[in-house]
Amino acid sequence: MSARYTAARTSVRTAGIMVLFTVVFTALMSATFQLTRPAIEASALEGKMRLIREVLPPSAYDNALLEDSVALGRTPELGLDQGGHIYRARRAGEPAAMVLEVVAPDGYAGRIQLVVAVGVDGRVSGVRVTAHKETPGLGDYIDPNKDRNKSQPWIGQFAGVSFADVGLEKWKVKRDGGNFAYRSGATISARAVTNATARAADYAIRNRDALFAAPAGGRL
């Protein structure tokens, strides 16, 4: 048997083993994904609900809030270049509040992602930062998990504030002539979140009827 023939057989056998390994590995990965998918999806939904509970108390609504959502296309008013979602809260079938995904594009280190809950009366019930790259120990106080003041985190000042009482012209940090506090040395982070919250409240009020009338699972 020639060396060339032996080498060819070895190459073919090696290629066959590699193909078999790939097929088996792919099948195992697919099976694992299918088995773990329900748990992963349930965990993601629970994470969303945990976040929503931080901005909107469960007593404010009685519907399946995650199922009563509307997808948004590009929405500059909310900073959503790629679109986002609004989750609608109802009590006894009547509109109660909405939770909006919002982006502040002008943070110190870039985009700041938020969720903002606004009642049908225009009162903000809560704001939370979901993702940011602000400077650790300086601008990251916008995230209550990073805020050193655990008893009165900075972002808590928006809860309960009525947009009708404050208005767009005063919904700014105090340094800009508005009503909201900020921390010295990190005004940009606070300004970005404050302004984005104002835009979210304004958008929710102006588009309230259309947003609640849209079919669940639809897109605007």
Q: Does 180 map to a domain? A: yes
**How many C-beta atoms surround the C-beta of residue 94 within 10 A?**
9
* Domain span including residue 106: 56-213
Claim to verify: residue 40 and residue 77 sit in the same structural domain? no
Nearest to 116 by CA among 52, 192, 183, 188: 52
Claim to verify: residue 191 and residue 104 sit in the same structural domain? yes
Claim to verify: residue 15 and residue 71 sit in the same structural domain? no
DSSP states along 150-191: SSS-GGGGGTT-BHHHH-TTT-SBGGGTSSB---TT-HHHHH
16 Cβ neighbours under 8 A, 6+ residues apart: none
CA atoms within 13 A on the CB side of 93: 0
pLDDT of residue 48: 79
Claim to verify: residue 49 and residue 126 sit in the same structural domain? no
pLDDT of residue 87: 97
Q: What are the beta bridge partners of residue 87?
A: 69, 99
How many domains, the chain?
2
Q: Does 218 map to a domain? A: no
Q: pTM for this structure? A: 0.80
Q: Does 219 map to a domain? A: no
Distances in whole angstroms, Cα of residue 94 to Cα of each of 61, 97, 162? 9, 10, 20
Claim to verify: residue 77 and residue 128 sit in the same structural domain? yes
Claim to verify: residue 65 and residue 129 sit in the same structural domain? yes
* pLDDT string in tens for the chain (220-residue length): 555 556 556 666 666 677 666 666 565 565 554 554 444 444 545 667 899 999 999 999 999 999 999 999 999 999 999 999 999 999 999 999 999 999 999 999 999 999 999 999 999 999 999 999 999 999 999 999 999 999 999 999 999 999 989 988 999 999 999 999 999 989 999 999 999 999 999 999 999 999 999 999 989 8
